[in-house]
Amino acid sequence: MLGLAVVAPLAGCGRSSSAGSSASTGTSSAPGVTDRQITIGSSYPLSGPLGPNGQAAAGGAVAEFDAVNAEGGVKMSDGQTRKIRFTYYDDGYDPAKALQNFNRLLGQNVFALFQTFGTAPSIAIMKQANAEKVPQIFVHAGDLLFSDNASGSPWTIGWSPSYEAEGKLYGGFLAAQHAPLKVGVLRQADTLGQAYLTGFKQGISGSQVKIVGEQTYIPTDPTVDSQIAALKAAGANVLFMAVAIPPLMIGGIQHAETLGWHPKYIIMISLSSSINQVLGPGKLTGLKNLYSAYFLDAADNPKYSSTPAVQQYLARMKQYAPGANPYITNAEWGYGAAETFVQALQQMKPISRRSLMSAVRSMQTTVPLLASGLSYNGSSIPPVSGLKLMHFSAGEWQDVSFSG
């Protein structure tokens, strides 16, 4: 078993998490499956601007899979108990490299893809995965396109709440203030950023809230200072930071402070609102105007840090993925999705790729790290739906209730 104590610095280098290293062959309906082992694969940004997040997501998956392996493996419908061999490679958040990684994994006869990371890289993989009829399970991105086209892309499914839904939540909250608010939007210049903006516009529709400025960035931008200055100049009194790169989230909010701009509300998307990764390092914990959303009980939020589910998660991360930061949101996301994936392996009957897709699209189950009231429902779009708004106050993220 190789964990994440050392991560692959270059695309094409990979890591495996398993109880053994023997090749998996399987049959035409269940490639990558032997009597003792099932092989799955993925592609993550283990390097580049999203390296810590990719490492965290992979680490969460490794922690769950290796814990299951340590307990003997997954008991499946044919009576065999199999250990999970999880192989993944670095794509640096580059769609072309993600596609190369998919082809490499296909050559290794993996049974399924689990948790390919990011919108653009997963889109690059999706068409070929569906053409090859390889399950692309629980894509690590919140775009609806991974879950809402079961007929056009039957071999792909997401897991988490959608970016559109999150954007709509923020817009609805602002609309519920019944005040003439002026919003400056900074978003990623791709499908992810557009999804957040689409949902946000739905949320503010018909209200007194207006978008007065919109700026974009790309993940490799060194700063977003000029974009923040432009939004201040537009007269915005609300800053919507649809920013998925933690250093840019920190830098953007810090630059607003440097300019003497203090919006009434600063909305941070859930991908980049971790206390441990963003608020603490950015020295933002003293601000009183920060809002975000969540669907997982964050391990770095004091109100959840002592719950049994979080304590077990932290213990497994420490044991099986010590090189990954367990307090980055992506780590819990990866861990929760891996728990769900294990349940799908247990439920699929017979052992085949098609049966795996049937299982993930039909099963309903609880996932311990999900926020109160949320669960997994494979027939929903996406399978995990529902988000909660929160405000940072007194050293922790606290729930916010509002009515439209």
Count up the domains in the chain and report the number.
2
- Together in a domain, 21 and 153: yes
Q: Quick check: is 386 in a domain?
A: no
If one counts every other C-beta atom within 10 angstroms of the C-beta of residue 353, the result is: 22
Same domain? 326 vs 189: no
User: Is residue 279 situated within a structural domain?
Assistant: yes
Residue 399 domain-assigned?
no
Question: Residue 215 has which token pair?
Answer: 């700026």
Domain-ending residue, one of 294, 327, 345: 294
The yes-or-no verdict on residue 358 having pLDDT over 80 is yes
Task: List the domain range (segments joined by +) for residue 353.
Answer: 14-160+305-377
316 shares a domain with 288 = no
**Mean pLDDT taken over the chain:** 93
Q: Are residues 115 and 203 in the same domain?
A: no
270 plus 210 within the same structural domain:
yes
Q: Which two tokens stand for residue 196?
A: 């957040």
| Sign of the C-alpha dihedral computed for residues 94, 100, 102 and 108 taken in this order | negative
pLDDT at 9: 33
User: Is residue 41 domain-resident?
Assistant: yes
Q: Is 190 within a domain?
A: yes
Does a cis peptide bond (omega within 30 degrees of 0) precede residue 95?
no
Statement: the pTM of the whole predicted model exceeds 0.85 = yes
Same domain, 169 and 259: yes
pLDDT level of residue 279 (50, 70, 90 thresholds) = very high
285 shares a domain with 177: yes
Question: Residue 177 falls within a domain, yes or no?
Answer: yes
List, for residues 216-255, the tens digit of each pLDDT value.
999 999 999 999 999 999 999 999 999 999 999 999 999 9
φ, ψ (nearest 5 deg) of residue 258: -60, -35
Do 255 and 190 share a structural domain? yes
Residue 359 lies in a domain: yes
Is pLDDT of 25 > 90? no
Least confident window among 16-25, 55-64, 179-188, 321-330 = 16-25
The reply to whether 265 and 319 lie within a common domain is no
Verify that 118 and 210 share a domain, yes or no: no
Q: Write the Ramachandran bin of 56: left for phi over 0, alpha for psi from -120 to 50, otherwise beta.
A: alpha
Same domain for 140 and 202?
no
CATH number for the domain spanning 39: value is 3.40.50.2300
DSSP annotation string for 245-284: -HHHHHHHHHHHHHTT---SEEEE-GGG--IIIIITTTT-
Rounded to 5 degrees, φ, ψ at 29 are -90, -20
d(CA 287, CA 262): 9
Q: What angle do CA 62, 357, 328 make, to 5 degrees?
A: 30
